Chains A and B, each alone.
Chain A
């Protein structure tokens, strides 16, 4: 009856899920997190550390991990003590084409990670408030989402600044995870 066992039980009992917030730097990960956490978003600097926020949503406890622009972020999700249930991949919809290509490659690499097998994937096409932002369909095309067969995925156009569609996206991922790992009582 070590810590590992205890944590496993707590997770199941309290209906916890772990979401990992990832994406290229300056995609708006921390802004989204602060927004859904009800915090001030007027001053946000590049994330150096990582944050875990806990939020209640539809009876579930979400542990959202925001990993900053770290080079080696592997350590966070490969920690065996907590399984990653969902990935929130944030994209700056107004980014340069070469950055969007980076974004596609990084995402494809990430999904190969064995420890993330089975995790639900939500893509936030963020920064829709900017005039130069690409549409949801364009982002889906550029990221080649159609080719993803290993994960349940969903793309949502949103804006962390206005808060548009954040709830819709989070609803999708929570429902999708719940359907996978929690039994309906």
Chain B
């Protein structure tokens, strides 16, 4: 259906909804259990410090609580049970240690403080997750707690954790928070102050002198210190005595502070005091606090987001203080009736049908007289309005709330001015521009300002302060804000603006009666629906969906509300792919929403800055075409066509894709309607068909070759693919250059270096060859193009791709030629410049495609010799281990070959064919060989290769119609219903090592395993080698054991030695093989072979030695030689079994290592010396045991020489040393 099927809705990785959302506190019981364990430490007479396990439990509890950071309300029902036991315990111990007249020693106090700290840490964690305001309510507030808690916090202030364990800030933070609650006791503090009459400082002084230093704390204590200060100073018995002096101090500190942390603490305290303090006491202080609000312009504050927010917050509080607490009488009030009074009305009586618009408007005007708004409020409002434009969200949000709250206390006229100012913020930096559709250009406005203004509008609407008569003016702004998206070079801004606009719409739903909203329903509904399914961001789609739902439920007049709420709910719009491709398409069925959706997809999404959105838009347009072909072809296409040659790459790319998808869908619709051949009318021919064809012939060369031409070409090729998949006119008399141009575009795209462009072009080839065929000249050109002699490797890659895409009809005339050319193109080249992995990979793919194009008839079309040639090439490709600067690029070829073989070998089975392992059976042999190779590749070192080979192996083994004994055995190892994660070495190797038991596959698997054991990745090497060692250790030495084993140790080592012959001088395999031998010698397998393997064993060990020797001889690879030396040393340490052969072998090995002591490379010499030293010292031990150390002296001398010689000296000087060592060792 759609050509961009790669970007199909389901295939899109846009599952934004990844967070696991739980709907209740699931770990409740675990936490209670853990907590009870901890609290037990508090239950005794003394506090028991937490054990290490308990500390871990505490960490676990905190970790679990963290999971609720995003939805902490789920904890609410459990908070009491989470907090109460801890608080009870803490209270008891604090009271015991710090209460009463007789005070304990300070050292003991500190000990208690430290031991209680973990519990405070726990409570702090709860405040972090749930918010302190909620948590504080669960702390105790007894009069008797006050002084002990104060003393406790004071002790905590003087204590640090022992051993540099950090500070006790959590204890102090929670302690002061606790104090702030206790402070609210309704008794006169003087009456409970134990210091009264003792000459000590009064309670209030003691508390505030504890707090004040912490107001400038860097850590979190400043917050609870501020709250405690506020609670302390706003008490009825303290407010008149202590508040004013504190304010004077605070203002002075704030205005002179250089320390941002101090300023933060002071402003926090002031804000909270003005929030909770009694208005009557604060009123006289309002004016003198204003300078603190003005600090917002101070450069120090300007550069600090939090300080700006605090200034704005304080301004709001001061502003509110200037006015009496009341709700504006003039506000619009939809009238929330109370349930009880409604029900109280006598049943059955005539109901006065109350219409929604119970506007209290007008009624309240009277009670505002006489109250003047102080001038200062204007300044405050100014600060807040300015805050709406702040660059940081928290400041704008705080300002918006302030605007809302203050306006609700303002007289009507003043509040209307505030609203006008908010609206004028939106107009800032707009200018008239006749070229833009609306006449006004919004491209220069600030996204921050728009966000702040929207928040303010929502706050005002929610409070009923935005009177209905303003909506005319406001709604157009909201609609614009819903689509706010400012393109910056490679991204855009405006997500927050759109989200805030949804908030405004949500507020409207709640604030106004349906009658008020009626005139705006249509425009709001359309905008919200469009955004809810077509916004790029998931949070905006969801916000719009929520706002729409709220409107449907409360306004009821939104067209098709219910259907849409059901279609586009929170979860449905969570996935972008399905939101575009399914939800939007479904909703477009409703007349009311069709056009806005069409226009948004075509006008906004198709030319979106994000390429993914453009692609989604194109496929969506295709799907929309199915429902509304006429409009699409008649209107949308006509708009898109001219934009296809836009100079803006984004527009050009999006429109080309869109045009293609629409044409494809259009032809499809017509076909379903029964039209054969021409699916257009005469008018459409001249309006659409011709112009679209013309796009291709008139593309400026700059678009095809300049910057961004890769994207343009992808889109153009896509357009060609689309129209070539329809019955597009094959001859256009007015455009004689049509076909030459298309072929030119396709051919030049095939030669591009970008793989996506080549892919796109090759898809176009496929479509074209099915539509108008391909001229012989062009096919021959491609066959020429893939020749190894062609220096343009991009052309080689592209031409190979193209050849693979030819349809049977075109192919028939060229099969021999094409296959021959492709086979040659698959061969690895000696010349590095000609050796191009991608070209080979593409050729392998093409080779497969060509053979498979004929399906079960392949044998009739492809002559047997050529077919076997193809198979030879593919098997050869499995040995392609070419590397370049990117690493093992041959792996692409191997992968392609594996896939190719799967398909070609599988052809035999088409239509009920069979593959059996009888004698002289070509298919059976090929199959066996293929499976063996799969086994090898499935244990090699690259994860991706294992995945590819393993996946194929699992399929191939279970092919129906295969009769093969060896495969039967494989089936036991790879059962049908279990799948291996081939990426994971821990899973693969233990399983695949069993394949070593199968004669048919052993040699190949062994090669693969060897390479992995000698690999680089730690987990790979570990699992591969442990699996191999385990396997080898379990092997019997000879066939004599019963039951007769399928594999013995000698046979295994024979096969291992065989690799030195079959893969001679292939360092990729042989170097790891030497390492494998070392591993096996280390695990004692070689020793076992010599001591228990009998003659057979000795023969194998000898054969292996020859293999190693000839492989290492004359090698210039240091790594290889060193690995070889290690193997020789392994031989040198073979157990002395007195057998002449083995002894001779041992001597030869020693000689060999000694020989390397004067090797031209210093590194080799050093390695030889070191390894030899190790061997000789182990003899020492053996001999000490065996012969009482009789010959110890000689080895001592050798050891001395090996250790003391500087092996970096010139070879000439070292040769005599070598001689000495050789002579000495011969004697041993």
Contact = CB atoms under 8 A, between A and B. Distances in A.
A78 B569 contact: yes
A6 interface: yes
A79 interface: yes
Interface string B1086-1124: 000000000000000000000000000000000000000
Contact of B503 (A3, A56, A167): A3
Interface string A48-80: 111110111110011001000010100110111
A118 B24 contact: yes
B342 A81 contact: no
A35 B351 CA distance: 10
B561 to A, nearest CB: 6
Nearest to A48: B562
Given A3-B547, A56-B337, A180-B76, A38 B351 contact: yes
A7 to B, nearest CB: 7
Interface residues of A, number: 54
Interface-central residue, A37, A61, A180, by most chain B CB under 10 Å: A37
A55 B553 contact: no
Given A36-B342, A38-B342, A65-B553, A115 B23 contact: yes
A7 B342 CA distance: 28
Contact of B338 (A1, A6, A57): A57
B345 A117 contact: no
B72 to A, nearest CB: 10
A12 B134 CA distance: 11
Contact of A38 (B354, B499, B547): B354
Interface stretch (A91-99, A137-145, A158-166): A158-166
B552 A37 contact: no
B502 A3 contact: yes
B570 A80 contact: yes
Contact of B506 (A3, A54, A72): A3
Contacts of A181: 73, 76-77
A55 B342 contact: yes
Interface in A33-53: 35-42, 48-52
B1041 interface: no
Contact of B499 (A3, A42, A51): A3
B245 interface: no
Task: Label chain B's interface by main secondary structure.
Answer: helix
Contacts of A109: none
A58 B542 CA distance: 32
A126 B21 CA distance: 36
B241 to A, nearest CB: 27
B337 A70 contact: no
Nearest to A181: B76
Interface in B539-553: 539, 542-543, 546-547, 549-550, 552-553
Given A37-B342, A52-B554, A117 B569 contact: no
Given A75-B569, A80-B570, A49 B561 contact: yes
B569 A37 contact: no
A170 interface: yes
Interface string B611-626: 0000000000000000
B393 interface: yes
B343 interface: yes
A183 B542 contact: no
Nearest to A54: B336
B978 interface: no
Given A49-B562, A183-B134, A1 B393 contact: yes
Contacts of A78: 569-571
Interface in B551-594: 552-554, 556, 561-562, 565-566, 569-571
Contacts of B23: 114-115, 117-118
Contact of A163 (B347, B353, B566): B347
Nearest to B509: A52
Interface-central residue, A10, A12, A75, by most chain B CB under 10 Å: A75
Contacts of B1000: none
A69 to B, nearest CB: 11
B339 interface: yes
A180 B73 CA distance: 10
Contact of B546 (A3, A49, A56, A72): A3
Contacts of A161: 347
B559 to A, nearest CB: 11
Contacts of A58: 340
Contacts of B1032: none
A105 to B, nearest CB: 23
A75 B76 CA distance: 26
A55 B546 contact: no
Interface in A92-129: 114-115, 117-118
B137 interface: yes
B1218 interface: no
Contact of B339 (A39, A62, A80, A117): A62
A38 to B, nearest CB: 3
Contact of A55 (B21, B24, B338, B503): B338
B339 A55 contact: yes
A119 B565 CA distance: 23
B639 interface: no
B930 interface: no
Given A3-B502, A79-B570, A167 B24 contact: no
Contacts of A49: 552, 556, 561-562
Contacts of B542: 3-4, 80-81
Contacts of B354: 38-39
B77 A52 contact: no
B1173 interface: no
Contacts of A72: 566
B500 to A, nearest CB: 8
B177 to A, nearest CB: 15
Contacts of A51: 553-554, 556
A83 B502 CA distance: 19
Contact of B347 (A52, A79, A162): A162
A42 B350 CA distance: 10
A131 interface: no
B107 to A, nearest CB: 40
Given A2-B543, A3-B502, A37 B337 contact: yes
B1201 interface: no
Nearest to A36: B339
A167 B340 CA distance: 7
Contacts of B347: 161-163
B570 A81 contact: yes
Nearest to B396: A1
A109 B565 CA distance: 22
Nearest to A161: B347
B394 interface: yes
Contacts of B552: 49-50
A12 B561 CA distance: 28
Contacts of B571: 78
A44 to B, nearest CB: 12
B565 A75 contact: yes
Interface-central residue, A36, A62, A184, by most chain B CB under 10 Å: A36
A7 B234 CA distance: 31
B510 A3 contact: no
B124 interface: no
B484 to A, nearest CB: 15
Contacts of A54: 336, 510, 554
- The 3 lowest CB-CB distance pairs between A and B, nearest first, are A38-B342, A52-B553, A3-B543
27 contacts: A1-B496, A2-B543, A3-B547, A35-B343, A36-B343, A38-B337, A40-B353, A49-B552, A49-B561, A50-B565, A51-B556, A56-B337, A56-B339, A70-B566, A72-B566, A75-B566, A76-B565, A79-B570, A80-B542, A81-B542, A81-B570, A83-B73, A114-B23, A118-B23, A162-B348, A180-B76, A181-B77
Given A38-B351, A42-B351, A181-B73, 19 more contacts: A3-B500, A4-B539, A12-B73, A36-B343, A40-B353, A49-B561, A51-B556, A52-B550, A52-B553, A52-B554, A54-B554, A56-B336, A56-B339, A75-B565, A76-B549, A82-B546, A167-B340, A167-B343, A170-B339
